[in-house]
Amino acid sequence: MKAVLLEKPGELRLAEVVTPYCPKGGVLLKVLCCAICGTDVKMFRRGHRDLEYPRILGHEIAAEVVCSGHPDFEAGCRVQVYPGIACGVCPLCLQGRENLCRKVKIIGFNYDGGLAEYMALPPESLPVGLNIIPEHVSDEEASLAEPLASCIHAQSVCRVGDGDRVLVLGAGPLGLLQAMLARHNGAEQVLVAEVLPERVNGAELASPDGVIDLGKTSLKQGVFDQTGGAGVDVILIASSGVEVGELPFILSPGGRINFFSGLPKDRSELIIDANAVHYQELVINGSYGSTAADNAEALRLIGKGIIPVKRLLSRITGISDIEAAFLGVERLDGLKTIIKFHK
């Protein structure tokens, strides 16, 4: 079968590899769509702490079961893949926080992923690792359940809810998903801030209450202009190009900052006014990945038409075009690029 194989950082190739077999108790999947994540490009260029080589990348996956050793999944059913495979017995797993399990393995990182014509899932990935795709949801839409799930997880961690004024930093695909989701979660006002002109213009796809063009105004001025000086209750960091020090000063009392996006290693140290955190009772938290429950909820929201992920689809292409697809994602061309198989 054809697969996108990462041999080591900087060495990515389209390869012919052996088609996997159906594991006992697991499933063999025919990949229908796999979206390219910015993390895939990061792994290609710089590697990743969880990555094992050589590896077939891809973790935003919609597929069809072709062989099953599990009674819940019959051959022919379409499924969305939750990429985490946790131990299931540690305290974190038992709390429903399997994304933080110290033994967690991730499809596309520790297991071969979805940028291939076929992929196998072991029995320990089931049944929480697969969600049946509703008939009316397209393969392309279903492949975006995983990134939406990570947004669901972040907003759960920082408790986005009724009446909140929410600021999303970054108008890339995940930033726009965060903005759409914040509205669904009851936010009173949703703002998006971005510096790249094409993404400033594209932010309207998420129907925010306001877009702050950081090429024309400061973040603080933009937020205060949009909120009448009140500031925001929640900041969701969906961009790695963020100056953290000013963020406490645009939060209202009791406000929350969520590090949804990781920052570059050379800029990951926080320099922040502890007195602002103390006197205003501010909360700083992070979120990483998602849980199986978040993935199931993401697919439900897509199926109900609550989060219109189709708006984010910029490019649908085949695996033979993988180099151009990766370079386009790296250049921030458009929003989501989908690799479609078995046309």
pLDDT in tens, 234-282: 999 998 777 777 888 999 999 999 999 877 777 777 778 888 899 999 9
| Nearest partner of 178 among 170, 4, 159, judged by Cα | 170
* pLDDT tens-digit readout, 181-211: 999 999 999 999 999 999 999 999 999 999 9
Last residue of a domain, one of 286, 305, 327: 286
**Domain match, 83 and 8 both:** yes
| Nearest partner of 17 among 34, 1, 29, 33, judged by Cα | 1
User: What is the number of domains present in the chain?
Assistant: 2
* pLDDT tens-digit readout, 143-185: 999 999 999 999 999 999 999 999 999 999 999 999 999 999 9
**Region 68-88 average pLDDT:** 95
**Domain match, 144 and 10 both:** yes
**Does a structural domain hold residue 154?**
no
In the chain, % of residues over pLDDT 90: 85
In the chain, % of residues over pLDDT 70: 99
Lowest-confidence segment of 137-141, 215-219, 243-247 by average pLDDT: 243-247
**Domain match, 189 and 173 both:** yes
Instruction: Give the model's pLDDT for residue 104.
Output: 93
Instruction: Give the model's pLDDT for residue 302.
Output: 98
| Ranges 10-14, 33-37, 68-72, 124-128, most confident | 33-37
pLDDT band of residue 227 (cuts 50, 70, 90) is very high
**Domain match, 167 and 302 both:** no
**Domain match, 311 and 329 both:** yes
**Domain match, 281 and 296 both:** no
Instruction: Give the model's pLDDT for residue 343.
Output: 57
**Domain match, 132 and 231 both:** no
**Domain match, 65 and 104 both:** yes
Rounded to the nearest integer, the mean pLDDT of the chain is: 94
Q: What is the Cα–Cα distance from 113 to 59, expressed in whole angstroms?
A: 6
**Domain match, 165 and 84 both:** no
Instruction: Give the model's pLDDT for residue 117.
Output: 97
**Domain match, 212 and 325 both:** no
pLDDT band of residue 28 (cuts 50, 70, 90) is very high
Instruction: Give the model's pLDDT for residue 203.
Output: 97
Length of the chain: 343
Q: What is the extent of the structural domain holding 224?
A: 159-286
**Domain match, 10 and 143 both:** yes
Query: Does pTM top 0.85 for this prediction?
Result: yes
Which is it for strands 189-194 and 165-169: parallel, antiparallel or unpaired?
A: parallel
Q: What is the Cα–Cα distance from 312 to 314, expressed in whole angstroms?
A: 6
Cα dihedral value 173, 177, 178, 181, nearest 10:
180
Both tokens of 74, joined, read: 């019959």
**Domain match, 165 and 136 both:** no
Contacts of 327 (CB under 8 A, 6+ apart): none
CATH code for the domain of 166: 3.40.50.720
CATH code for the domain of 50: 3.90.180.10
Contact 141, 302 (CB under 8 A): yes
**Region 310-331 average pLDDT:** 95
Above 80 in pLDDT, residue 301? yes
Residue 259 burial class via C-beta count within 10 angstroms: exposed 0-12, middle 13-18, buried 19 and up: buried
